Amino acid sequence: MRAVAGDDLETARNAVKAIVAKGDQRFAAVLIELMRASQLQILHADGRTAYARALEAITGELRGENWGAWVQWYDATDLEPPPGFMRWKAELLGRLDPAFDQFLAEGVPTSIRIEEIVWGGVAFDGIPALDQPKFIDADRADYLEPDEPVFGIQINGDARAYPLRILDWHEMANDVVGGTPVALAYCTLCGSGIAYSSRVDDGTVYEFGSSGLLMRSNKLMYDRQTHSLWNQFTGRPVVGPLVDKNLRLERIPIVVARWKDWKSEHPSTRVLDIDTGFEREYTLGAAYAGYFATPGLMFPVRQRSALLAAKARVFGLEINGVPKAYSLDRLVEQKVTNDKIALSNVVLVAARGIITVEGRSARTGPSTYRAGGEVRAYERGERVFAPGPDSHTVTDAEGKEWRVSEEALEGPAGERLPRIAGSLAYWFGWNAFHPESQLYSGQ
């Protein structure tokens, strides 16, 4: 493999000819990596055609020089790469950033196919996390517009707002909310902001950053203590020394809300200071408005479902290992949705509609896009709920009013039905990691 990836093009061509002569399909993974490296002009910029022809010769597939199509084909196979592939891939990625080398040491435990890891277009920590960021009182946040989206988290009465105009640029915040260490992990590519408790069962508190690597168009975050890679969607380590530790981060409820609504419901909330210590264009949509506003994906994803458009917004829940997704459009239409997942009765409240942003991409100009909407899920026991007289109230079958809060549905006699942690995502992102997921279709 070293000969194939060498800087001498003639030597590389001879190595490719040898691969074709043997017809060894294990080298499909190698050739796909080389095609991408050629496309990125970090290796043999004029070798892409030869790699494509070699792929077609050893696989019988006709996908030309379409790297994304080859990735989707390969991910649907059960092929395994040749010995030494991980170390070789680490060296190849090291041509983009030597720091990538730290993640793929030969023999390191993995729970995913290393072939699925792709470069996300940025360097290691090129999207810098916000560590213990500064907050200001709500009345001082004059940089925010009333209808713009924020991530909202409240723990033990401590309410925090994280404007998406800022998180679009950072995608990770290591914070402490209400005494709980929190990792807010945001993947802009799959539209998913998830809050995790960053303290695991043995008491260790992990700090996270963005590796610069992806899997299925979803960010692979890493912890700073061991440099293990973690799946942002599942909260599990997937490559590195922590893989064998059976760790999974606990989800914390989070909501995407309009700033004016979050502030109204949480008058003592604090909000991220726009003075983050980084030089970024913190205007609405500056980072990703063009992507958010279009149906296309930036990176290939094999597992696709036609039940919804790829970038349709869904709210995902997983209860007792059973995942289920709900179309945001359907939730907003119904306002209150009573359902059952596994053996658990749940109710989802989405009474404030879709959040639409008039943004401006720093690269492509003005773009209008949908940023999600408020959805909260709760256990409901045997009760059935309906919309109440306002957006923060639901009624039960007896007409009694219950208050929608961050911790629970609060009944008139002090009853409390606990909140369930879920999150919004693009349908393709949810489905890529939960292919067995149900999709709500009820009334």
Instruction: Confirm whether 272 is domain-assigned.
Output: no
User: What is the token pair recorded at 130?
Assistant: 């916000």
Instruction: Confirm whether 90 is domain-assigned.
Output: no
Q: Is 149 in the same domain as 248?
A: yes
- The residue-averaged pLDDT of 122-137 equals 97
- The residue-averaged pLDDT of 39-53 equals 83
Instruction: Confirm whether 274 is domain-assigned.
Output: no
Q: Say if residues 314 and 326 touch (Cβ distance below 8 Å).
A: yes
- Identify the band that residue 186 occupies on the pLDDT scale cut at 50, 70 and 90: very high
Give me the pLDDT at residue 106, please: 81
Q: Is 52 in the same domain as 186?
A: no
Give me the pLDDT at residue 275, please: 97
Using the CB atoms, write b or e for 349-367: b if 16+ within 10 Å: bbbbeebebebbbeeeeeb
Alpha carbon distance 134, 204 (integer Å): 24
Count the residues in the chain: 443
Alpha carbon distance 276, 130 (integer Å): 8
Q: Is 311 in the same domain as 425?
A: yes
pLDDT value at 282 more than 90:
yes
Give me the pLDDT at residue 252, please: 98
* DSSP count for the chain of H helices, then E strands: 10, 29
Secondary structure class of 74 (helix, strand, coil): helix
- Cα-Cα-Cα-Cα dihedral of 331, 328, 322, 245, to 10°? -140
Q: Is 39 in the same domain as 142?
A: no
Give me the pLDDT at residue 14, please: 82
**Radius of gyration of the chain, Cα coordinates, nearest whole angstrom:** 23
Domain count, the chain: 3
Residues 309-365 have pLDDT tens digits of 999 999 999 999 999 999 999 999 999 999 999 999 999 999 999 999 999 999 889
Domain of 226 in residue numbering reads as 130-252
Instruction: Confirm whether 25 is domain-assigned.
Output: yes
C-alpha distance from residue 207 to each of 183, 204, 255, 358, 431 (Å):
7, 10, 22, 33, 27
- Identify the band that residue 280 occupies on the pLDDT scale cut at 50, 70 and 90: very high
Q: Which of 240, 4, 288 is nearest to 117 (CA)?
A: 240
- The residue-averaged pLDDT of 231-236 equals 96
Give me the pLDDT at residue 139, please: 96
- Identify the band that residue 8 occupies on the pLDDT scale cut at 50, 70 and 90: low
- The residue-averaged pLDDT of 110-128 equals 95
Q: Is 232 in the same domain as 310?
A: no
pLDDT value at 42 more than 90:
no
49 or 266: which leads in pLDDT:
266
Instruction: Confirm whether 125 is domain-assigned.
Output: no
Q: Is 294 in the same domain as 350?
A: yes
pLDDT value at 167 more than 80:
yes
Q: Is 294 in the same domain as 244?
A: no
Q: What percent of the chain has pLDDT over 70?
A: 97
Looking at 45, 65, 83, the residue that finishes a domain is: 83
pLDDT value at 154 more than 70:
yes
Q: Would strands 438-439 and 322-327 be described as parallel, antiparallel, or unpaired?
A: parallel
Instruction: Confirm whether 246 is domain-assigned.
Output: yes
Q: What mean pLDDT, rounded, does the chain reach?
A: 94
